[in-house]
Amino acid sequence: MIEPSYQGVSPSPLGELWLTSDGEALTGLYLPGHKGMGAPPAQGRRDQALFRETCRQLQAYFAGDLRTFDLPLRAVGTPFQQLVWRNLPNISWGTTVSYGELSRRIGRPTASRAVGAANGKNPISIVVPCHRVIGANGTLTGYGGGLDNKAWLLWHEAEALRKSGPA
């Protein structure tokens, strides 16, 4: 995780989301009780104005009106993690793929476990949709934000898609 320069919160149906930024781009979006996160660091500067657009887009997402986020992002990770994270937004809204399918999509067909590990380290939840990756047998597996939240996010997208139809 990058040491955030700025931090803020965004309300959501899942509770307050913790946002971090380096002053230029979103560096983290964490759900309440996100695995390994603990409490937000006290030393980060709070600046809600910096996160206004992030909050607006998140509200539109939770209303079912936004399917693609358009925010400056900067997640720090290994080259392999970066490769996995860059490909997560290519998973269509309201759909899922397996870790094996994602590994094939990135040209690493035997790396499904490594893809799972990289997916689990994604610091920008929801916006970089790691919740759309599931087990090969269709089960929900590993989500830093909690499996209940992963299930809710997938239900939310499927329900909004059912109500509005394909994009």
**Distances from the Cα of 44 to the Cαs of 21, 55, 129, in angstroms?**
9, 18, 25
Dihedral-angle region of residue 64 (phi above 0 means left; psi in -120 to 50 means alpha; beta otherwise): left
CB 25 within 8 A of CB 72: yes
CB 157 within 8 A of CB 94: yes
**CA-based torsion, 97, 140, 87, 128: positive or negative:** positive
Paired strand residues for 26:
21, 73
Which of 31, 88, 130, 133 is an active site residue? 130
Is 55 known to be catalytic? no
Amino acid at 66: L
Q: Which residues are catalytic?
A: 130
